[in-house]
Amino acid sequence: MKPLRSLFMLLLVMVAVTLTACGGNVAKAPPTYTPEKIAAIERAIAPVEEVHDRMPELGKYVATQDWNNVKSFLHGPLGGLRPALGYLDRRLLLKKDQAEATARADALFADIEQLDSAASEQVGTIAQEVYGKTVADFNAYLEFIPRTPDA
């Protein structure tokens, strides 16, 4: 009986090893942007692009040192960017892209705050310089966002 028990235990160990080696997690494909996700991103980015298209208007105000309109533009159209970009970054982008998008958005918001400060102090040279950085950072953010090839 003892040899049969040993043989049975050996067989049980072999079955357990085989099941453990063959079982387990199945490799999943890395997450990608589905057409539905891209469509949601396109819908969310549309109002942001409308503000971006109006940036030359802000540039004109900065160039002419029209500080009231600079501040109105910063707190009006640009004022709604933070929640829009936050939603886009946290809800629509893949985890692997969220940190980079947030860093680019933070750079844009830092520029907007510097431009607001320059407008408050009415320093035209600094405002002009920061406006250029703001446009560059805004472009960098929009270029990072995944889109359909024709967009």
Q: In degrees rounded to 5, what are phi and psi of residue 76?
A: -90, -100
Structure tokens, 134: 């703001």
- Position of tokens 């750079």? 107
- HEC string of 52-121? HHCHHHHHHHHHCCCHHHHHHHHHCHHHHHHHHHHHHHHHHCCHHHHHHHHHHHHHHHHHHHHHHHHHHH
- Position of tokens 């199945």? 26
Q: What is the pLDDT of residue 16?
A: 65
Q: What is the pLDDT of residue 28?
A: 74
Q: What is the pLDDT of residue 148?
A: 81
Q: What is the pLDDT of residue 31?
A: 85
User: 32-144 adopts what CATH topology?
Assistant: Four Helix Bundle (Hemerythrin (Met), subunit A) (1.20.120)
Candidates 113, 120, 84, 89; CA nearest to 102 is: 89
Structure tokens, 119: 């407008």
24-68, pLDDT tens digit by residue?
A: 666 677 788 999 999 999 999 999 999 999 999 999 999 999 999
Residues of the chain with pLDDT below 70 are 1-4, 6-8, 10-27, 150-151
